[in-house]
Amino acid sequence: MRKYLLHILIISFVFLLTPTAHVATYAGKIEDAKENVRKYPDEVEAHFGLGCAYGDAANWKEAIESYKQAIRIDPDYAKPHNNLGKSYIILGMYKEAVEACKQAIRIDPDDVTPHYNLGGAYFLLNDRDSALEQYKILKNLDTERAKKLFDFIYK
């Protein structure tokens, strides 16, 4: 048993560090994105990137603020609207998610993701009819994503 003790300690140490490495990675991405915002405070992509970095780290409230700033800079950029909707869904703010997803769809009606997110938000608001409308739209855009939404609605 003693001859395996060193191996067990090393393996245990590696497993203990693994979650820390992910946190450090997210922290590094967030710091890089913050630096990008400091360098380019009027660039929509800088704020959108910071929102994505916060989202990757599951810091949804911070992500929402960054997406909102990106939208203030360029209200006709669909991606921040969509990611704002996704963030709202995760936080259980379904009515806000519906509005954000509708804006993303208004800007880019052929983008699959906001339709999927909107369908999910409607379902979570107990509005199955509106969720099914998004399913019907998705069937014409991406049958695989449509099936996922359908499964979500009926399972």
How does residue 155 score in pLDDT terms, banded at 50, 70 and 90? confident
CA distances from 83 to 72, 91, 131 (A): 14, 12, 19
Each residue's pLDDT tens digit, 11-45: 544 444 444 444 457 778 999 999 999 999 999 99
- Torsion sign (Cα): 23, 116, 83, 90: negative
Residue type, 91: L
Tell me the pTM.
0.82
Q: In the predicted model, is pLDDT for residue 61 greater than 60?
A: yes
**Numbered ranges of CATH 1.25.40.10 in the chain:** 1-75, 77-155
Residue 42 is given by DSSP the state T
The more confident residue out of 106 and 26 is 106
Q: Encode pLDDT of 123-135 as tens digits.
A: 999 999 999 999 9
At residue 26, the pLDDT reads 76
Closest among 45, 31, 102 to 73, alpha carbons compared:
45
Domain 77-155 is found in CATH 1.20.1090.10: no
Q: What class does CATH assign to 1-75?
A: mainly alpha
The mean pLDDT of the chain is: 89
Looking at residue 2, what is its pLDDT? 53
Q: What is the mean pLDDT of residues 87-102?
A: 97
Cα atoms found within 13 Å of the Cα of residue 122, Cβ hemisphere only = 20
- 59 Cβ contact partners less than 8 Å away, ≥ 6 residues apart: 30
pLDDT of residue 143: 96
